[in-house]
């Protein structure tokens, strides 16, 4: 569950955790309905073959929000920590 600490409002109830390479690689590709996906990555993600826009929340190692990206449409690349 993802909860806003200040307002105590639940933002997401059902989160899918991508734990291995396959789950991270496939992510939300080809799904018909959006899901909340939690994955660890260090520099960015793409929305190729994703059928809906995404809202992205970037957390630091202490789970503090450091960046937000709303409505990332399909077939885009989003980099937040370019090498």
**What average pLDDT does the chain have?**
86
Terminal-to-terminal C-alpha distance of the chain: 31
Which residue would you say has higher pLDDT here, 68 or 11?
A: 68
Q: How confident is the model at residue 63 (pLDDT cuts 50, 70, 90)?
A: confident
Q: Name the token pair of 80.
A: 């937040």
The model's pTM is 0.74
Residue 19 CA to residue 28 CA, distance in Å, equals 14
3-state SS assignment for residue 58: strand
Q: Name the token pair of 72.
A: 């990332």
Q: How confident is the model at residue 71 (pLDDT cuts 50, 70, 90)?
A: very high
Which residue range is the domain that position 19 belongs to? Answer: 2-79
In degrees, rounded to 5, the angle at the alpha carbon of residue 18 between the alpha carbons of residues 49 and 11 is 90
Q: How many domains does the chain have?
A: 1
Q: What is the pLDDT of residues 20-48, one digit of tens each?
A: 999 988 999 988 888 888 888 888 899 99
């Amino acid at each position: 569950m993802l909860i806003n600490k200040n307002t105590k409002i639940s933002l997401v109830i059902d989160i899918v955790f991508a734990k291995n390479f396959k789950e991270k690689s496939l992510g939300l590709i080809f799904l018909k309905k959006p899901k909340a996906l939690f994955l660890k990555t260090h520099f960015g993600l793409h929305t190729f073959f994703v059928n809906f826009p995404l809202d992205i929340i970037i957390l630091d190692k202490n789970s503090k929000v450091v960046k937000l990206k709303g409505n990332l449409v399909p077939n885009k690349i989003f980099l937040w920590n370019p090498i």
